[in-house]
A and B are shown apart, each in its own frame.
Chain A
Amino acid sequence: SQQGEEDPQALSIQEGENATMNCSYKTSINNLQWYRQNSGRGLVHLILIRSNEREKHSGRLRVTLDTSKKSSSLLITASRAADTASYFCATDANTGGFKTIFGAGTRLFVKA
């Protein structure tokens, strides 16, 4: 079964607006990561938040983690057309080893 599930599936906003994406997961985790993927390309790591952290910032990115609700959110502030991409959360299930499971992803389209 899929560990991470995201909403919305697709999001279309104007440049300068904020974009918020949510991720839910099912089992306990060591950490949660967010990745970005431009169309048909490899994934780029954005940010990692550990299970004992609640919020993390990196530039225009803000990630929150609520382990009691098994959910995370990614906020991109002051969006740009170049932010247009798919965004995936990925969980490192707390089972030992290297099994990373990706959520379904949110496709973000930022209109100039």
Chain B
Amino acid sequence: DTEVTQTPKHLVMGMTNKKSLKCEQHMGHRAMYWYKQKAKKPPELMFVYSYEKLSINESVPSRFSPECPNSSLLNLHLHALQPEDSALYLCASSHPGLAGGPVKNEQFFGPGTRLTVL
């Protein structure tokens, strides 16, 4: 299984709602990522988990809360979002490289969740 799945495909939420995005992979990857992508822009890294521990937080606002309950699952909890948070949210996974050591392998991406905040 070389697939990363993401649910839901589409999400529309109000600014007062609480929702969660889910990501799952069964490739044995121990690094998982959340990216945000606006239209016609490149993906921007938000969070990285390595061995289920938060490794990188790219100064993301606290209204985005990541969670990695086990090595196959990655969640992104959303609360009190703003309309400018509307975007495609991409999850990815990879084999983690060693810090300062061997080259990191390719990332496998899910199809994304298209989020619209009203």
Contact = CB atoms under 8 A, between A and B. Distances in A.
A96 B31 CA distance: 14
Contacts of A99: 45, 48, 56
Interface in B74-98: 88, 90, 92, 94, 96-97
A101 B96 CA distance: 16
Interface of B: 4, 31, 33, 40-45, 48, 50, 55-56, 88, 90, 92, 94, 96-97, 99-100, 103-112, 114
Interface of A: 2, 30-31, 33, 35, 40-45, 48, 50-51, 88, 92, 96-105, 107
B107 to A, nearest CB: 7
Given A45-B106, A88-B42, A99-B45, A40 B100 contact: no
B55 A96 contact: no
A91 B76 CA distance: 24
B90 A42 contact: yes
Contact of A42 (B104, B105, B111): B111
Query: Which label, helix, strand, loop or mixed, suits the secondary structure of the A interface?
Result: strand
A43 B48 contact: no
Given A42-B4, A42-B90, A98 B104 contact: yes
Contacts of B103: 30-31, 48, 50-51, 92
A100 B105 CA distance: 11
A98 B90 contact: no
Given A40-B88, A43-B90, A92-B103, A98 B33 contact: yes
Given A40-B112, A97-B56, A98-B55, A30 B104 contact: yes
B24 to A, nearest CB: 14
